[in-house]
A and B are shown apart, each in its own frame.
Chain A
C-alpha cells in the first residue's frame, strides 16, 4: 500500500469520532435530499402515471340536473377532448363499526364500467351489476377502515329510502386519492366513503334517468381551461350549474398538491443547511489536522512529494468522509423514505405507490455531498500543500493573541477570571471558526423552531376552529333546502339542545378580473355555537347587510373593508348584486363569505329557507339521536365535531409528528456534530495549556470547565440567532404553504423556542461531556517534556 494511504487510514482510525460526527451531518443532508426529492418524485410520478392511465379530468362541474342530450353541446366546446357525465349523490350510511351515521358519496358508473374519465381501478372483486338488489364497489381506504370486503352489506338511506347495498369489490379512482366528505377539513377514513354503483340503479333511485348532475371534462393538450370553463358555465347555468372548476380546486388534487409543495420545500431548504454545516466542519477539522501535520508536510515535500500529491492526500481524507456520509445518508434516506411512503399509502389511495429510486437522484446527492466536502477542504488543503518545505518544517509562528478591550475600558469592569479570559481570547483568536460554530448551532435551533412551531400552529388551529369558531357538536346538512320550520323538527329530535339554522348558497364573488366560486353562508346575527372571529379570536358581529369575508378571500380579491364585491349567485334565480365588504375575518381553512341569513334570503329572492343547522347535542341522548338519524329518511348529512376533531388530530399526529420527529433527530445531529468537532479541535489546540493548568493544581472539573465554557458561549450565542432564523423559516413556510384551501396561523409560542433550545443544548451537552472525558486523560508529564 502507498505510504500516504497508510497514513490516511491511521488518521481515520485516530479521528474516527470526529469523522463520524461530520459524516452524520452529511448523512442528514443526503437523507433529507433523498427523502424529500425521492418522495416528491415518487408521489409526483405515481400521481401523474395514475392520472394518465385512469384519465383524471381537467374540469369538474356540478349541476342540479341536466339532460344527457346536453353532452353533445358540451363536447363541442372548443378544446374539450372528452366528457364524462355521472350521477353523484351523498347518502347517509349506517355502519356497525360506527355509532354516528357515516356518509357515502354514491357515484354512478355506466354499464360495463365503460367510463371515459376518472376511471376506477378495481383492487379486488368485480364491478357491480344492475339488478334488483343494489350492488356497489367501495373505496379502499373506507373499506379497510371499516373491515368491508366483497360480500359485505351496508345499510344506506338512498333518497329517503333505506336500502341495503352489497359490496362486490374494492376500488380506487384518481379523483378521490384524498377522499374528504363535504364540509370537512381532513379525510375521514372510516366515516366517509365513495361507493360506485350502476348508473341505472342510481338514476332510478334519484329519478335522474337520462340525466346527470356531475360532469368531468378532459381538455385537449394546450386548450385554455379558463375559456372552456366560461363556455361550460354558460351552458350549465340553466341546469343549476354551481360553477365549473379546474384541478387546482378539486379537493383531492389540491391537497395532494399542498403535500407535494411541502416536500419540495423541505428538499430545497434542508439539504443545503446540512451540507453547509458539513462543509464548515470539514474545513474546521482539516485546518486543525493540517496545522498538526505541518512539519510532516514539510518533510514529505522535502522527500520529493509534489504539492499536488499532498493536496490530494487531504482531499482523499475528505472524500472518504463524504463517501461514508453519503452511504449512511442513502441508507437513512431509503429507510425513512419507505416509512414516509407507507404513511402516504395510508392517506392517499394509489393503485400502487412507486417509491421511485431514480438513480440520478443518488448520483446528484453523492455529487453534491462530495462537492460540499471538497469545498470545505480546498482552502485548508491548498494552503498546506503549497507551503514551501523549508517554511513548513519550521514550527508555525506563535499564535498572536490580542487584548480584547482597551485598558481604560477594562478598568470599568471587575477583573474577570483568567480562565474566562482564556476562553474569550481563544474564541476570538479564531473568529471565523467561532462564527461558523455559532451559525451552525443556530441553524440547528432554526430547523427545530421551523418545524416544531407547526405543532403549536396546528393546535392553535384546532382550538381556533373547534373551540372558538365552530363550537357546535355536529352540523346537519339537509339534502335540499327546507323551510325555516324544519328547524323545529330538528330541535325536537332527541338530545338536541341548541339548533342554529344556516343557509348555504353557491356564489361567484369577484372584484376586478378576479373571481372565486364558493359558498356564501347565511347565518343568524346572533349565534351561540358558530362564531365569526378575527385574527385575535375576537367575535365579529354579522352586519345587517354586506359580507364578511375571510382573509384569504380578501387577499385573493384584493379587497378590504368598505370596498364592494360583485356577487353572482349560482343557485335559484342567479341574482347578481354589488355587496359591500363589511369586514374581514380570519380563515385558516380557506375562502369563505358570510352574511345575514335574511339578507341572503332577500338576495336569493326566497323566504326563510335553510340548508341545515348547527346543533349541540346532549351526550346522554346521543345514541338515541344517532340511531334515529341513521334511519331518518329525509335528513341530510351529519358531520360530527368530535369525530372531526379526533380525526384531525390523528391525521396531524401521524403526518406531522413523524416529520417533526425526523427533524428533531436531524437537528440534534447537527448540534452534536458542530459541538463535538468544535470541542475536539479546541481541546487539540489547548491540550497543552490544559495539561499545564492541571500541573498548576487546577482540578479536572476546572479544566473541563474551560472547554464547556467555550462550547457554552457558542451554543448560547446561537440561541437568539437560531430563534430569529427559525421565525423567518416559519414566515417562509406560512407564505409557501398557504393555499386557497388552507393557511397556517403564524403562531410561534415561547415553548417552541424553549423546546428547540432544549434539544440543541442537550445535544451540545452530550457532545461536550463526551469530549470532556478526554480532559481526564490529559498527560501532564508528556506535556512538560516537549516544546509545542
Chain B
C-alpha cells in the first residue's frame, strides 16, 4: 500500500533471485551470503567504493490493532571508509535502521545490500556470519561480559575472527593499554565503552556501527571515546556509522544523516571534518 510499483517489482525480482541463490546454496552447502562472507572471495573494498546500500528499507511493528512504522522506505548508501553521524529525534527510527543494516533484525520490506550481497531475506545463520566477519557494534550500555577482563572481552571476539589484531593492539588503539586486566566492574563508564570499541574493531570489521556510544558518558569521557572512533576510522579505514543525540558531534563526520519520522529527512556533507578533540558539549 502506497508503495511505488517499481518497488514491489524489485521485491519480487529479489525473491526470485533469492530462491535461485538458495537452490545454488543447497548445491554447494553454503548459505546465500556465504560467497560474500568469504574474505578471500570478497576483496576488501577500496576507499570510496560503495559498501552498504539500502532501497525502500522499511520496518513495521505489528501490534495487533496498531501498526507502528518504525522505518519507512529508506534509501541510503555508504562508501568504504566514510564516517557518518546519524541524528534525529527520539523514535525517528535510527536504531531500527542500524539494527537492520547490522543484521540484527529483519526488514518488513525493501532491500539492504552489503557490497553485492543482500542482507534482507538472508537466513539467521548467514546474518550471524555477517555480523561475525564484517560488523563491529558499540552500544550505549557497552554490553561487556562482566566475568571477563578488558583483554578477555576483546579476545572473546578475536578468537572467532578471521584476521584479527592482537587484543593488546586493539586496546592500545583506544588508549587502554594499561588497564587490560581489569574487569568491567573495575572500569569507569568511558573506559568500559572504549573496551567495547576495542572489542568491536579488533576483528578489523568493514563496518562499525555505534548506537549512542557517548549516551551514558559525560562530555570529557565522550570526547575520548569519539577520538578512539575517529582514530580507528582513520587508521583502519573502517566505515563508521554513529547514532547520537549530540548535535555537536556532527562536526567530526564526513556526512550527517538526519532521521525524522522513520525516514531520512536530509543529508549534509561536511566539507571539512573537525577532530574529535575539538568538539565539546
Q: Which of B137, B140, B145 interacts with A689 by CB under 8 Å?
A: B145
A421 contacts across to B, CB distance below 8 A: 147-148, 152
Given known A-B contacts A697-B133, A698-B132, A426 and B147 have beta carbons under 8 A apart: yes
B145 contacts across to A, CB distance below 8 A: 422, 689, 692-693
Residue of A nearest to B211 (CB): A784
Given known A-B contacts A418-B156, A688-B143, A697-B135, A403 and B149 have beta carbons under 8 A apart: yes
Task: Tell me whether B104 is interfacial, beta carbon within 8 Å.
Answer: yes
Indicate the member of A400, A429, A689 with the most B CB atoms within 10 Å. A689
A697 touches B147 (CB 8 A): no
Per-residue CB proximity of B69-104 to A under 8 Å, as 1/0?
000000000000000000000000001000100001
Per-residue CB proximity of B95-134 to A under 8 Å, as 1/0?
1000100001100000000000000000011001111110
B105 touches A784 (CB 8 A): no
B143 touches A780 (CB 8 A): no
Task: Tell me whether B157 is interfacial, beta carbon within 8 Å.
Answer: yes
Residue of B nearest to A702 (CB): B160
B99 touches A781 (CB 8 A): yes
Q: Is the interface of A mostly helix, strand, loop or mixed?
A: helix
Indicate the member of B144, B160, B181 with the most A CB atoms within 10 Å. B160
A418 touches B159 (CB 8 A): yes
Q: Which of A400, A415, A422, A696 interacts with B148 by CB under 8 Å?
A: A422
B143 contacts across to A, CB distance below 8 A: 688, 692, 695, 783-784
A 741-788 contacts with B by CB, 8 A: 780-781, 783-788
B141 contacts across to A, CB distance below 8 A: 784, 786-788
Interface size on B, residues (CB 8 A): 38
B160 touches A698 (CB 8 A): yes
Tell me, in angstroms, the Cα distance from A418 to B157 when the chains sit together.
Answer: 9
Indicate the member of B124, B147, B157 with the most A CB atoms within 10 Å. B147
Tell me, in angstroms, the Cα distance from A425 to B149 when the chains sit together.
Answer: 11
A427 to chain B, nearest CB (A): 10
Tell me, in angstroms, the Cα distance from A398 to B144 when the chains sit together.
Answer: 12
A697 touches B185 (CB 8 A): no
Tell me, in angstroms, the Cα distance from A77 to B3 when the chains sit together.
Answer: 113
Given known A-B contacts A399-B146, A421-B148, A784 and B160 have beta carbons under 8 A apart: no
B148 touches A694 (CB 8 A): no
Tell me, in angstroms, the Cα distance from A415 to B166 when the chains sit together.
Answer: 14
Per-residue CB proximity of A385-398 to B under 8 Å, as 1/0?
00000000000001
Task: Tell me whether A699 is interfacial, beta carbon within 8 Å.
Answer: yes
B147 touches A695 (CB 8 A): no
Task: Tell me whether A306 is interfacial, beta carbon within 8 Å.
Answer: no
Task: Tell me whether B139 is interfacial, beta carbon within 8 Å.
Answer: yes
A429 touches B157 (CB 8 A): no
B99 touches A400 (CB 8 A): no
A703 to chain B, nearest CB (A): 10
Given known A-B contacts A421-B147, A692-B143, A697-B129, A781 and B156 have beta carbons under 8 A apart: no
Q: Which of B105, B137, B140, B147 interacts with A422 by CB under 8 Å?
A: B147
Per-residue CB proximity of B165-192 to A under 8 Å, as 1/0?
0000000000000000101110000000
Task: Tell me whether B53 is interfacial, beta carbon within 8 Å.
Answer: no
A662 to chain B, nearest CB (A): 41
Residue of B nearest to A783 (CB): B143
A 65-91 contacts with B by CB, 8 A: none
Task: Tell me whether B250 is interfacial, beta carbon within 8 Å.
Answer: no
B146 touches A697 (CB 8 A): no
B204 to chain A, nearest CB (A): 13
A 653-696 contacts with B by CB, 8 A: 688-689, 692-696
Tell me, in angstroms, the Cα distance from A731 to B135 when the chains sit together.
Answer: 61
A784 contacts across to B, CB distance below 8 A: 95, 99, 104, 139-141, 143, 211
B148 touches A418 (CB 8 A): yes
B139 contacts across to A, CB distance below 8 A: 784
Residue of A nearest to B156 (CB): A418
B138 to chain A, nearest CB (A): 10
A694 contacts across to B, CB distance below 8 A: 128
B147 contacts across to A, CB distance below 8 A: 399, 401, 421-422, 425-426, 429, 689
Tell me, in angstroms, the Cα distance from A502 to B275 when the chains sit together.
Answer: 110
B132 touches A696 (CB 8 A): yes
A429 contacts across to B, CB distance below 8 A: 147
Q: Which of A401, A692, A699 interacts with B128 by CB under 8 Å?
A: A699
B125 contacts across to A, CB distance below 8 A: 699
Task: Tell me whether B194 is interfacial, beta carbon within 8 Å.
Answer: no
Residue of B nearest to A692 (CB): B143
A401 touches B183 (CB 8 A): yes
Tell me, in angstroms, the Cα distance from A417 to B147 when the chains sit together.
Answer: 13
Tell me, in angstroms, the Cα distance from A422 to B149 when the chains sit together.
Answer: 10
A781 touches B104 (CB 8 A): yes
B160 contacts across to A, CB distance below 8 A: 697-698, 702
Given known A-B contacts A422-B145, A689-B145, A695 and B152 have beta carbons under 8 A apart: no
Per-residue CB proximity of A403-445 to B under 8 Å, as 1/0?
1000000000001011101100110010000000000000000
B181 contacts across to A, CB distance below 8 A: 403
B156 contacts across to A, CB distance below 8 A: 418-419, 693, 696
Per-residue CB proximity of A271-314 to B under 8 Å, as 1/0?
00000000000000000000000000000000000000000000
Per-residue CB proximity of B186-214 to A under 8 Å, as 1/0?
00000000000001000000000001000
Task: Tell me whether B155 is interfacial, beta carbon within 8 Å.
Answer: yes
Tell me, in angstroms, the Cα distance from A689 to B149 when the chains sit together.
Answer: 14
B152 touches A418 (CB 8 A): yes
B144 contacts across to A, CB distance below 8 A: 692
A230 to chain B, nearest CB (A): 76
Given known A-B contacts A419-B156, A696-B156, A698-B160, A400 and B185 have beta carbons under 8 A apart: yes
Q: Which of B104, B130, B155, B216 interacts with A780 by CB under 8 Å?
A: B104
B133 contacts across to A, CB distance below 8 A: 697
Residue of A nearest to B151 (CB): A418
Tell me, in angstroms, the Cα distance from A702 to B125 when the chains sit together.
Answer: 12
A698 contacts across to B, CB distance below 8 A: 128, 132, 160
B185 touches A399 (CB 8 A): yes
Tell me, in angstroms, the Cα distance from A693 to B183 when the chains sit together.
Answer: 17
Tell me, in angstroms, the Cα distance from A398 to B189 when the chains sit together.
Answer: 13
Indicate the member of B137, B146, B159 with the most A CB atoms within 10 Å. B146
A401 contacts across to B, CB distance below 8 A: 146-148, 183, 185
Tell me, in angstroms, the Cα distance from A419 to B160 when the chains sit together.
Answer: 11
B141 to chain A, nearest CB (A): 5
Tell me, in angstroms, the Cα distance from A683 to B94 when the chains sit together.
Answer: 30
A418 touches B185 (CB 8 A): no
Tell me, in angstroms, the Cα distance from A738 to B175 when the chains sit together.
Answer: 74
Given known A-B contacts A401-B146, A688-B143, A696 and B185 have beta carbons under 8 A apart: no
B148 touches A398 (CB 8 A): no
A697 touches B131 (CB 8 A): yes
Tell me, in angstroms, the Cα distance from A692 to B181 when the chains sit together.
Answer: 21
Tell me, in angstroms, the Cα distance from A702 to B143 when the chains sit together.
Answer: 18
B159 touches A417 (CB 8 A): yes
B 46-74 contacts with A by CB, 8 A: none
Per-residue CB proximity of A324-355 to B under 8 Å, as 1/0?
00000000000000000000000000000000
Tell me, in angstroms, the Cα distance from A688 to B143 when the chains sit together.
Answer: 8
Given known A-B contacts A419-B156, A696-B137, A398 and B128 have beta carbons under 8 A apart: no
Residue of B nearest to A422 (CB): B147
In order of increasing CB-CB distance, the 9 nearest A-B pairs are A697-B132, A398-B185, A697-B131, A425-B147, A692-B143, A418-B156, A401-B147, A787-B141, A784-B139
Given contacts A399-B185, A401-B183, A784-B143, 19 further A-B contacts (CB under 8 A): A398-B146, A401-B148, A415-B155, A419-B156, A421-B147, A422-B145, A422-B147, A429-B147, A688-B143, A689-B147, A693-B156, A695-B143, A697-B129, A697-B135, A700-B124, A781-B95, A781-B104, A784-B141, A787-B216
Interface residues in chain A, defined as those with a beta carbon under 8 Å from any beta carbon in chain B: 398-401, 403, 415, 417-419, 421-422, 425-426, 429, 688-689, 692-700, 702, 780-781, 783-788
A-B contact pairs, 18 of them (CB 8 A): A399-B185, A400-B185, A401-B148, A415-B155, A418-B153, A418-B159, A422-B147, A689-B147, A694-B128, A695-B131, A697-B135, A698-B160, A699-B128, A781-B95, A784-B95, A784-B139, A784-B140, A787-B216
